[in-house]
Amino acid sequence: MAIKKNQICAICGNRFTLTEGLFLRDLSDLLKEQVLKTNSYAKDSSFICLKDMQRLRIDHMQTIIDQDLNIDHEMSDHLKKELAKDTYVITNINDTVYGKRTRGQKLADAVAKFGGSWGFIITFVIILVGWMALNVLHLFGIHFDPYPFILLNLFLSCVAAIQAPIIMMSQNRAADRDRFDSENDYKTNKKSEMEIRILHQKLDQLIEVQWPHILDIQKMQIEVLSEIENEIQSLKIDNEPKRERNTRHPNK
Ligand SMILES: [Zn+2]
């Protein structure tokens, strides 16, 4: 008995049996949306034949792939532009601060370094004690600065007066270095932040958009496979009586 072709395809308008197509309500949300967008007269209860269904699926997959590729390209371009910006060139502080030192600055640095060390304190204590011992004990008959050591006072005042501005020079240079350092840190942080932000966007795009799209495509592939299997089964069933007839014939 022939099966009645009582379903009309909403796309090609031909008549089909119930097994030769699908209803719009059985499709995935994304595919349904796509069909409704391109065929305004289609409804949830509309029937679509398998041939049109294949075409719709392929169109839908192509749209998804194109969309994802476009977004990927946009993001990659954005990242490239950010990375190419001149503001993100990182400078080496050792080159800029230490590379251009004048002889005076080098001397100031050396004096400040020695002035703030245990070596300086010990040497100075030895000189002071030696000076006082010479003048109090009259060792070797020398007593050029008797108690209360006025010359020593003058000597110490002179050392302090010279040492203070030299240390300040060195400190100014240290402050310059800190400024360069923080400027560099700021640039590096900004660059890193921008990169992380773009990576975040890429990851979000991957998880929230592309992953569901991949699953959707996979689902469509499985649907197509099961439809092919159904068709093979129905072809087998159609061919069964013919084969039986052919095998029975010679015995008659
Ligand atoms: Zn059709």
Q: How far is the CA of 54 from the centre of ligand 1 (A)?
A: 10
Q: How far is the CA of 15 from the centre of ligand 1 (A)?
A: 8
Highest mean pLDDT among 38-42, 44-48, 119-123, 213-217: 119-123
In the chain, pLDDT over 70 holds for what percent of residues? 93
pLDDT of residue 152: 93
CA torsion through residues 168, 170, 171, 172, sign:
positive
Q: How far is the CA of 36 from the centre of ligand 1 (A)?
A: 15
Q: How far is the CA of 50 from the centre of ligand 1 (A)?
A: 7
Q: How far is the CA of 49 from the centre of ligand 1 (A)?
A: 4
Amino acid in position 71 = I
Q: What is the pLDDT of residues 144-202, one digit of tens each?
A: 888 889 999 999 999 999 999 999 999 998 898 899 889 888 988 988 898 899 889 88
pLDDT of residue 83: 76
Average pLDDT, the chain: 86
Q: How far is the CA of 202 from the centre of ligand 1 (A)?
A: 39
Q: How far is the CA of 41 from the centre of ligand 1 (A)?
A: 14
Within 10 A of 46 (CB to CB), how many other CB atoms are there? Answer: 20
Quick one: pLDDT band at residue 87, thresholds 50, 70, 90? low
Amino acid in position 150 = I
Q: How far is the CA of 53 from the centre of ligand 1 (A)?
A: 8
Q: Are 153 and 135 in contact (CB under 8 A)?
A: no
What's the CA gap between 235 and 4, in Å, rounded? 17
Q: How far is the CA of 11 from the centre of ligand 1 (A)?
A: 5
Of 21-25, 84-88, 143-147, the poorest mean pLDDT is in 84-88
Q: Are 205 and 93 in contact (CB under 8 A)?
A: no
In the chain, pLDDT over 90 holds for what percent of residues? 25
Q: How far is the CA of 39 from the centre of ligand 1 (A)?
A: 13
22-25, long-range: CB within 8 Å, 24+ apart, which pairs? 22/47, 22/48, 22/50, 22/53, 23/47, 23/48, 24/48
Q: How far is the CA of 235 from the centre of ligand 1 (A)?
A: 20
Give the residue-averaged pLDDT of 2-23: 85
Candidates 75, 73, 67, 65; CA nearest to 201 is: 75
H helical segments located in 96-149 = 103-115, 118-137
